[in-house]
Structure 1
């Protein structure tokens, strides 16, 4: 009676005809019929036949460290050991050197004989050729599915869902998660930090992409949390525009069809213009990390000294040991030269915060609070942009040395170029209504929102409207609010031009109250101080 080690391997593409149970049963029947004992199983599932048997998770330790515990290595068929000729030869040599027998219970030959050894290598060679054919078919299928924009299996991008199509499965926009994407985009482009966006989503119980996948699969959510680390890649994904991408040297690039137009796997959630605006907002944060702090000072980028320096926030323990006193003081005080205006005294935080609260709510507290909502346009702007990009790509590709410059492809590419030009002319002549952001009421006033919110949310609201508090000596505080402050609070629709003009408007209003008279000489804020304060509003 010999000791048998049963070898079971199943690749990801294998079917049920040689499933784990089928292989186990065949090996066990053979061992029983020969009077042998199965002393162990080396089972490697989801393991490619190209992997070296000595490196596999289960069989590897038996071959490398436990060879003295078995006499026969038994498998269902020889391709369960390896589909690579070199690896098969390596395993056969090892079996000879270590006095082990190899048995494929469904193959009718004995690898220990010279004839069987020859057949063993022929079988391994054929298995390797079959594997190459399988890999090529899989690659061809993948290429076709990419070109058609079809669902290829695996993870579903957030904001989309799969639906049965005439051929396989396709993506369509998922209304619920797509609305979350648009909401996040609105907040981020309005100046809300990624960390703050995550805090709000978690507070409202909005499912994360992982939980959304579980719910879609009929499973209970696990309560995963939104984090800035996971939100960032989601907002960087070109899939938000509905375009198919592939990995190229570590970077996701758009897949283009034979006509040079990016392949769409579904309708876009964000237009190219909105996606570009989102990327600009994200890029700007590389240099303004202070805004992204969840525990930031309540008046960060809101309260400034008249010298132009931001006010630092201080918490000092009381002498009694119970509680803390909170203050703001000029941030330049810690520098060697101190505050240029000599304003070194700390100001009580509650007094400044109360003044900001009163000024803000007096102006718009009674108004209904609005939030920005994305409204898709009824136009051909996105298609026109894609055709324009395809035209540019074809022109470049047809240049000498370009990918379409060879005579075998040039005629066909030139014809495609003419068709694209005709399509571009056709689209250019059609009227269009661009995508836009409009405002809708949230169901509460600004005062109600303010009173139920903490300073993190209040600060984001102040930043959105460009509200500033500038502190002078003798505890005098002057509030700066843009001229269009109330108008923006009542706005029903904002254009890109209006949003871009905000910083210029705020700078002009800042200069309207440059002078401050308090029974003494006129004090003027320097242009440098103004620039430092206004520069933080963008």
Structure 2
């Protein structure tokens, strides 16, 4: 009896691709199930003992076959290397378009497979690379897949154009401060009432001079969600724990959605008259937007300078006691090594027409000595006082909406007077009555400017100070109007301190109870 023939094993790599993870019509689970059933059917129908065994899965999600060839895919790519090719014999996918949507990519893939003795199968497409006719049919299918992709792209562009023209939301990441409204059967972005006050607080902090980085840190400390996590909250989904950063906060503040506008390929979307289209209710008035962008543009120019300055506690606080100029920080250097940090009159680091004639006679002073003197003066008098948190409260102003309602009332009446209104009398009166009622409601609502209030924190000034970094401490000193100067020309340091608003506030509050330093801001 001849020896039994050893069954042939065909090692299979199964490729799954999905362009969008939220598209469930061709979900990865469905593709996996189809491939597994196909392998099972192959094994059951085998007449020569051949067995097909899946040795690996290449699951690429959020990957487009129109822009990414098979070798560039994160999961499939490693299998299409000489080292990876030693581990399998057949590449299997649900359909050809899960592998390629380009005829050129398909031709290159077929050539690559043939050179290495590999084969290809698609469970739902009749592909046979073992015959010339089969390869020709496969090439035609690849061309059809490419044409289908171009059709999809054209349809998508037209759909997006229609959505832009009608002010509807075409999908994508929803900006911070907004939420999706589908109450009228369409998708539109409206202001998120819970996050809008947070947004206004961010803008106010920028105008106070706070750095974008420090604002991002505070948002994280106060557990305010990013745009992505906020939308997950609104959908009832668990958040991903994304953090605010200076980068995503900067992008949010530069986005024209703040004034209700949108951009397409870097340009503002405009109507036929060349005017920007207002797609949704602005978060900022145009004057507020302009002011914010001016401040951000100023910062983008001075980013390097501000980054350097913000590490100095006495920036805009310390001065030279001899010439009155600002002070800079530097290190004493010996044998190329930095030693003690010191303050020095800025005249020593500035150029005056190439001469040193105008350099101040004042010398250096140890940073620890100068900063320590100021901190001791503040904490001795105010360290045990209660600290209150300064909280921004959004105002309420209906002036613009009231003006729009007044214009609408005038327009409706004018249409009627000119005989341009085509509806019946009841419809006209109903429309006018609704506008008048809205005007009455707006007139009855209070107008309150935005401002700040103060809330107890349960900590003292000293405890609050200890929790701050150098930048935050410097910002606080500037807000308090504190100044310190030094003069070492006489040998021993002559340090003078002006506690500014703190000193004046203490005089005003003598006998009026505990002083809260937050009220000095």
Q: Given the two structures, how large is their TM-score scaled by the length of structure 1?
A: 0.62
Check conservation: 1:79, 1:124, Cα contact below 8 A.
yes
Kindly report which structure 2 residues correspond to 1:297-446, keeping only aligned pairs within 5 A, or say none: 297-306=312-321, 307-312=323-328, 330-332=345-347, 337=356, 342-344=361-363, 346=365, 348-353=370-375, 373-375=393-395, 377-380=397-400, 438-443=450-455
- 2:10 aligned residue: 3
Supply the distance in 2 between the matched residues of 1:199 and 1:81 (Cα, whole angstroms): 44
What SS class does the counterpart of residue 188 from structure 2 fall into?
strand
Offset of residue 191 of structure 1: 1.5
Give 1:25 shift: 1.8
Q: CA deviation at 1:268?
A: 1.9
Q: Are 2:287 and 1:267 equivalent residues in the alignment?
A: no
The answer for the alignment partner of 2:408 in structure 1 is none
Where does 1:45-56 land on structure 2 (aligned, <5 Å)? 45-46=60-61, 47-50=63-66, 51-56=68-73
Cα offsets for 1:473-525 (capped at 9, x unmatched): 8837475969xx99xx9xxxxxxxxxxxxxxxxxxxxxxxxxxxxxxxxxxxx
- Partner of 2:37 in structure 1? 25
1:202-222 superposed Cα distances (whole Å, 9 cap, x missing partner): 444444445545544545556
1:476/1:163 CA distance change after superposition, 3 Å: same
Contact 2:100 2:142 in 1 (8 A): yes
In the TM superposition, what are the counterparts of 1:80-159 in structure 2 within 5 Å? 80-108=98-126, 110-159=128-177
Distance in 2, Cα, partners of 1:436 & 1:204? 26
- Alignment match, 1:169: 187
- What are the equivalent positions in structure 2 for 1:69-84 lying under 5 Å apart? 70-84=88-102
Contact 2:259 2:289 in 1 (8 A): yes
* CA RMSD between the two structures: 4.7
**Could you say if the C-alpha distance between residues 294 and 344 of structure 1 is closer, same or farther in structure 2, counting changes exceeding 3 Å?**
closer
Q: Does 1:240 align with 2:258?
A: yes
Give the equivalent residue in structure 2 for 1:43.
58
Q: Are 1:370 and 1:439, in contact at CA under 8 Å, matched by a contact in 2?
A: no
- Does the CA contact (< 8 Å) of 1:190 and 1:464 recur in 2? no
Ranges in structure 2 where 5+ consecutive residues have no aligned partner:
1-7, 333-339, 405-446, 509-521
The answer to whether the Cα contact below 8 Å between 2:10 and 2:51 also exists between their aligned partners in 1 is yes
Rounded Cα–Cα distance in structure 2 between residues aligned with 1:326 and 1:89: 66
Match of 2:270 in 1: 256
- How far apart are 1:74 and its partner, in Å? 4.2
| Equivalent position of 1:322 in the other structure | none
Is 1:2–1:72's contact at 8 Å kept on the other side of the alignment?
A: no
Query: Secondary structure in 2 aligned to 1:161?
Result: strand
- Distance, in Å, in 2 between the alignment partners of 1:107 and 1:220 is 39
- Give the SS at the match of 1:9: strand
Seen in structure 2, the aligned counterparts of structure 1 residues 41 and 460 have a Cα distance that, compared at 3 Å, is: closer
Q: Secondary structure at the match of 2:195?
A: helix
Where in structure 1 are there 5+ consecutive unaligned residues? 317-324, 385-434, 490-538
Question: What is the CA distance between 1:189 and its match in structure 2?
Answer: 0.8
Distance in 2 (alpha carbons) for counterparts of 1:100 and 1:341: 81
User: Deviation at 1:119?
Assistant: 2.7
- Taking a change above 3 Å as real, the CA distance of residues 294 and 222 of structure 1, as seen in their structure-2 partners, is farther
Aligned 8 A contact 1:4 1:31 in 2: no
Distance 1:234 1:53, change over 3 A: closer
Number of aligned residues: 422
CA distances 1:424-448 after superposition (whole Å, capped 9, x unpaired): xxxxxxxxxxx99643331469x97
How many angstroms does 1:182 deviate by?
Answer: 1.2
Instruction: Provide closer, same or farther for how the CA distance between residues 340 and 148 of structure 1 changes in structure 2, counting only shifts above 3 A.
Output: same
Distance across 2 between alignment mates of 1:458 and 1:68: 62
